Amino acid sequence: MATSASGASPHSIRTLESRNQTKTRGLAPPNQLSSLLDLPNELLLLIAREAAQSGMVIITVPSLPTPGSDRVHGSIYHLSLVSRHLRDVCSEFLFQNIRFLVRCSSEDFFFDDIEWDISYLSRSFEKHVKDHDSIRRVSFVAWPETDHVDEALSYQRLLLPFILDLILKCPNLQWVALPNFFTLNKWLDDAGLLGVVNDHPSPDLLILYPEIEDRNCIPFGMSSHMYSFSRVMLRLLDVSCHSNNTKNSIETLLKRGLRIQILAHSQREVTSWKWYRMSLPKAGLQTVTGWFPSLSETQSFLDAHPLVKTLEVNVGSDNPNDASQGFLSWLAANIPGVGELVDMFRSQSTQTWTLMSLTVVRPNRGGVWQLEEARVCRVCYSPQQVGDCLTLAANLRKMLPAQIQTVTFDKLRVTRTEKTSISSALAKDGLKVRWLNR
């Protein structure tokens, strides 16, 4: 269970064929359209551009569900269904942000299926997206989402030609996010992809890799000086589990412009890599998670990286020899709500609940840190234990009304009726609810 601020959900389009098959079903009566369609095209374009700021088109194979299909579609989607004229107006913006769902392995899934899926995605893309110049962001997501994909390298090499072709066709592309079975370490694959990205005409193009392989050093990172990595973003770099060879490779890539989104130190033990002494002014680092070093070392790191705006701090024991306790004490003394939470969970007579981590944010460069989320853990097996969750949430709300706004349940197996009951109970205390099933 966690307390957090809720975020907007992207809308989705399951398939575009359905709209073409029913040409008149989605059209509103003419008398309801007259005031909108009487506007000049210049103003309609401004409306469409504003409506396209959120949401995305999802292109998937027929056998896969579209995540979020039961949610409210984004404005640009609805606007494009109003009339043929508005569909033409929206066409310039409708496909600015595209997500491709890639089917993962299963017991009855073979590489012939993968090749068919990729061929289908390619045909769907070519059929429906005529204006390649309008595309700005493309992401590839493995479905179902999982931390491990069997035969990941084979998947990567089958999908790579489609990715390369798409990048070459979209001259104004700004963002390409690779699926989770891509890792930054395969010499031939990464070299070819990196060459296409570096030679791309769009000056704003970045390609996002999920992670870096930690079992081997990176050949082109160590030996070749012909590659720039200023257009490569790494979603997550865990500095606690790399060999010396990989550490040296990563530091070389950082010097050549590699950017990092999230820096994680997932192991509590002190490592030989003094990550907090790295200076990454070009890396675009925004989030640091895990176990932190001493207060002085953490402050020096944050001073050197003023763009970092999110810290997810693991909460350990109150052992004075734990280096992270100094930074945690500083958070408790300087951020409203942190001290109360830490004291509350440490004063428990039992270990029923565990305070796992605290997330603090600063809204702007050099701003004041604020508590955004407290992640607490308890395994629930019975309705009585779920009731304990509600009691704890209500007590936290009373103790910290300004900080505790939303309760998130992760992997809580309850029926739809029970979900409704839980949400209603928390709403009486002024709490919103988010449900995760990761």
What angle, 0 to 180 degrees and rounded to 10, lies between the N-to-C axes of helices 187-198 and 152-169? 10
Q: What local confidence, expressed as pLDDT, does residue 241 receive?
A: 66
Q: What local confidence, expressed as pLDDT, does residue 26 receive?
A: 45
Does residue 102 contact residue 143 with C-beta atoms inside 8 Å? yes
Pairing mode, if any, of strands 97-103 and 211-212? unpaired
Q: In degrees, to the nearest 5, what angle opens at C-alpha 102 toward C-alphas 100 and 107? A: 165
Q: What local confidence, expressed as pLDDT, does residue 204 receive?
A: 92
pLDDT tens for residues 28-63? 455 555 677 778 888 888 888 777 776 677 787 776
Which residues face 433 on adjacent strands? 407
pLDDT tens for residues 305-330? 888 999 999 886 555 445 567 888 88
Q: Which amino acid is at 277?
A: R
Q: Distance between CA 288 and CA 388 in Å, rounded?
A: 31
Compute the chain's Rg from CA coordinates. Answer: 24
Does residue 345 contact residue 355 with C-beta atoms inside 8 Å? yes
Does residue 57 contact residue 97 with C-beta atoms inside 8 Å? yes
CA distances from 287 to 17, 63, 247, 269 (A): 40, 36, 20, 20
pLDDT tens for residues 345-404? 877 655 567 788 899 999 877 678 999 888 887 766 566 667 777 888 888 888 888 778
Give the tokens for residue 268.
């509590």
Q: Distance between CA 122 and CA 156 in Å, rounded?
A: 16
What separation, in Å, do the N-terminal and C-terminal C-alpha atoms of the chain show? 13
SS3 279: coil
Q: What local confidence, expressed as pLDDT, does residue 173 receive?
A: 95
Which residues face 435 on adjacent strands? 409
Specify the pTM: 0.76
> Which residues does the chain have with pLDDT short of 70?
1-34, 54-55, 63-74, 77, 104-111, 144-152, 185-189, 213-226, 241-242, 269-271, 281-283, 316-324, 348-352, 366, 379-385, 437-438
* Residues written for the chain: 438
